[in-house]
Amino acid sequence: MLDSKILNLEILVANFSSIPPAPDGSDAGDRPLCREDFVMPDHVKVALDKGTMFVSAEASDLKEVPLADSIKESGVIPSGYSIDFIVSPERIISVLNQVGIKTIGKGARQLPEETYHEMRATINNPSNLSIIPTSVYETKCQMQAQTDRESEEQEMK
């Protein structure tokens, strides 16, 4: 199910790449899209309600295990762990920026409100959230940032 939602997000983003720029070259809107636009305030609760987390296992693997009752009751992610968005808000923003979409609105080069809400719901869906070791999360973020930089550099050529 998550695979089909990811595919739908990729299709939505791909469809925007053929939209011509606004005639005056401007982007309407108050401010650029940011991570907070896509992350719902209750994402920690949603991740905890999922009932599982990933822990480090042998040979750098991760193992999904049931969430301890004490963690569920506290409502706090354990120290050394982070919430991972499988399809991350940062990745979505990067891809949107690459095709010239930087704000939400009704303009030719803006993310339509309806599409924004669909993307936000998918990003915050329990199947897109995992509790993982922070070291793994940080490595993923670094790799993603590097990939995004390389993509941006290639587009500038």
For residue 72, the number of C-alpha atoms closer than 13 Å in the C-beta half-sphere is: 9
Nearest of 141, 136, 126, 124 to residue 80 by alpha carbon: 136
Residue 30's pLDDT is 64
Percent of the chain with pLDDT over 90: 56
> Is the pLDDT reported for residue 108 higher than 90?
no
Residue 19's pLDDT is 37
Residue 109's pLDDT is 86
- Structure tokens, 145: 């940032």
> Is the pLDDT reported for residue 17 higher than 80?
no
Q: Does 149 or 11 have the greater pLDDT score?
A: 149
58-62 LR contacts (CB < 8 Å, sep 24+): 62/132, 62/133, 62/136
Confidence category of residue 98, pLDDT binned at 50, 70, 90: confident
How far apart, in whole angstroms, are the C-alpha atoms of residue 118 and residue 41?
16
Specify the pTM. Answer: 0.74
